[in-house]
Every structure is written in C-alpha cells, then in structure tokens.
Amino acid sequence: MTNAAFPDLRLRRTRRTGWSRAMVRETHLAPSNLIWPLFVCPGTATEEPIASLPGVSRWSVDRIVERAKDAVAAGIPCIALFPYTEAGRRSDDGAEALNPDNLMCRATAAVKDALGDAIGVLTDVALDPYTSHGQDGLVDEGGYVLNDETVDVLVGQALNQARAGADIIAPSDMMDGRVGAIREALEMEGFTHVQIMSYAAKYASAFYGPFRDAVGSRGLLKGDKKTYQMDPANVEEALREVEADLAEGADSVMVKPGLPYLDVVRAVKDHFAVPVYAYQVSGEYAMIEAAAAAGAGDRDALVLETLLAFRRAGAAGVLSYHALHAARLLGA
C-alpha cells in the first residue's frame, strides 16, 4: 500500500458518530429562537380550527392565556398575536384597530396579567384584520392604499396596543415612514421600553393564503398588495427598506416569507449588525403539513430542518406556527 492510496481529506471522519457531529455543528436551534404566532377569536372557552392550516386554531382570550403558558413551559420567549375580527366590527377605515377593548388588547392584557415578564407579547400593526376590504391601510376611491393617512391610523393602533401591555410592536403594513412615526409617538407617551420589530422586507407573496383565512380577510380582499409589499424579485430594495427602518428606530427587523427568501435574510444579516427575524408564513406551514400528510417526508424532521436553515442563514429567530411543536421536540 502506497501513501497515495488514501484521500487527502476524509471529511466523513468527524461525521461518523453523534458525539462528533455535535462537536463540529456550526449552527444551533433552541426554543429561544422561536416566536409563536397565535390567532385570537371572540368568545370564551372557544377553539376554532382553521381548515387551510391543519393543526392551527383560533383561540378565545382565556385559551390564548393557556397557550401562552404552554409557550413558557416549552421555553418559547415570545408570542405574536393576530385577531379574527367579527364581520360587524370590520369597516372601511378599520376603526376597530383603535378600540381599547378590541380582541388584541384584551388578549395582550390577559397574557400580561397572567404571566408578566415570563413571556413577551408581540402585536401586529396593520389594518387588514379590521377593514371590510382586507387591505392593510386606508384606500382611496380607486382602491389605492394611501400612505400618510394610513400611517396616522397605524400610530393610533400601535399606541392602543402599547397601552394594553404589548412588549414588541410589529408593523407589517409596509407603509413608508411608519416606524419613525410609531417610535416618536411611543416616546411621547412614555413607552420608551416598548420595542419595534419592523416587517422591513415583506414581499407581496402567494404564501399568505391560509393566514388570510385565519384572520377572515381572504374573501374580502380585492386585488393584491403589490403597491406596498415588495416585489419578490428584489433584494437590494430589501436592504434599503431595512436601512430606513433602522434609521427610524426599529430595534430588530424581519424578512417575510421565510424559506424562499433565505438569501434576503443572509444579505440583511451581512449588511447590518442587528437581530434579523424570519417569518415562516402560513403557506410554508401548510406545505410542510401537506408533504408530511402525503408521506413525502417525516414531519418532525422537516420542521426542525427548515427552522435550522433560518439560523444558518443568519436569523436570530423565526416566527413559526410549528413553534410549540418544535420547542417541545428540542426540549425532549
């Protein structure tokens, strides 16, 4: 046997055993990397399954508190709340967003009362769960979403949520200038500790369908959201969005959707020294569930592999409907 008979490099050497793979692992996923989105519905002791999101339900406020306790027990540091607004409370101007007694405020206050700082509550700022037309802002006669007029309402919505106890305000509307306007209003009202996580690079995506079922806006929405959400073709523009939101006072930024946009997560992380979050959105969740149901892959393995991929791309954390399940798997 000559020396030339073996490969120069045997990369399989460190892969041979579990202990060795653990030692050379470059990226880690923990429950603390997860944010769990939850849908709130009216009523008490109510659970409403969402057909297009198998395994995900809307919960009444009392049940949201139970889910928040589940999250704490599993090591999840933060939940994100979205409301299902009754038809009678939806209007052209989305005024229900400003109601201090709306579902979001009640759920936020209930979780904070029960759990205090044991968990963070992130609240979404955008008008689509409250408007009769399903757009994220105020529309003119032609259906165009007005920027500055919408920002004024979003500021009121953000303050309404902060007064209810929200820890992180997350504007998902994609209006220009809303982060700065919200930050200023929060400061003026003394909410200096309330964070802003901006949906900075949010794309006009086909992956949001089941979410719109969950908040009840799918049937209402006419047209699309392409005049404010980003073109899926662009990444330089995402950097400009992030730069603007950071300059306006965002504490962290989000890229959304998730898996098809990992290049954007990486680009943002490489350009800015800030926490970057990714939202593995409803259509991605539904795809994983459909693949698992069809026997195309092992559900738990698919869930953990996709979540780890976000970490590898540079994400500090992931909003995922699989968060509780994943956290329990990781904790086991």
| Contacting positions for ligand PBG (CB under 6 A) | 124, 126, 128, 136, 172-173, 208, 211-212, 225, 281-282
Measured from the CB atom, the residue of 99 and 114 that comes closer to ligand PBG is 99
> Taking Cα atoms as reference points, which of 10, 9, 14 lies closest to residue 25?
14
Identity of the residue, 44 or 171, whose beta carbon is nearer to ligand PBG in the bound complex: 171
Instruction: Tell me how far apart the alpha carbons of residues 207 and 281 are, in angstroms, rounded to a whole number.
Output: 7
Helix (H) or strand (E) holding 249: none
DSSP letter assigned to residue 321: T
CB 275 within 8 A of CB 252: yes
- Find the shortest distance in angstroms from Cβ 251 to ligand PBG: 19
Our answer to whether residue 256 is catalytic in this structure is yes
For 120, list phi and psi in degrees, rounded to 5: -90, 145
The residue (of 60 and 280) whose beta carbon lies closer to ligand PBG is: 280
Options 112, 225, 256, 269, the catalytic residue: 256
From 178, 181, 231, select the one nearest 203 (Cα to Cα).
231
**Min dist. Cβ of residue 155 to ligand PBG (A):** 16
* Alpha carbons 28 and 23: distance in angstroms, whole number: 11
- Shortest CB 250 distance to ligand PBG, Å: 16
Which residue in this structure is represented by tokens 């919505």? 157
For the bound state, the minimum distance from the C-beta of residue 62 to ligand PBG, rounded and expressed in Å, comes to 24
Q: Given the complex with ligand PBG, which of 74 and 170 has the nearer CB atom? A: 170
Contact 49, 57 (CB under 8 A): yes
Contact 271, 300 (CB under 8 A): no
Neighbours of 20 (CB within 10 A): 12
CB closer to ligand PBG out of 67 and 212: 212
Is 69 known to be catalytic?
no
Helix (H) or strand (E) holding 211: helix 209-214
Taking the complex as a whole, how short is the minimal distance between the CB of residue 27 and ligand PBG, in angstroms?
Answer: 24
| 94 Cβ contact list (under 8 Å, min separation 6) | 127, 128, 130, 131, 138, 153
Name the active-site residue from 112, 202, 225, 269. 202
Closest to 177 (Cα-Cα) out of 147, 145, 137, 202: 147
Closest to ligand PBG by CB, 115 or 287: 287
Find the shortest distance in angstroms from Cβ 280 to ligand PBG: 8
> What is the set of active-site residues?
202, 256
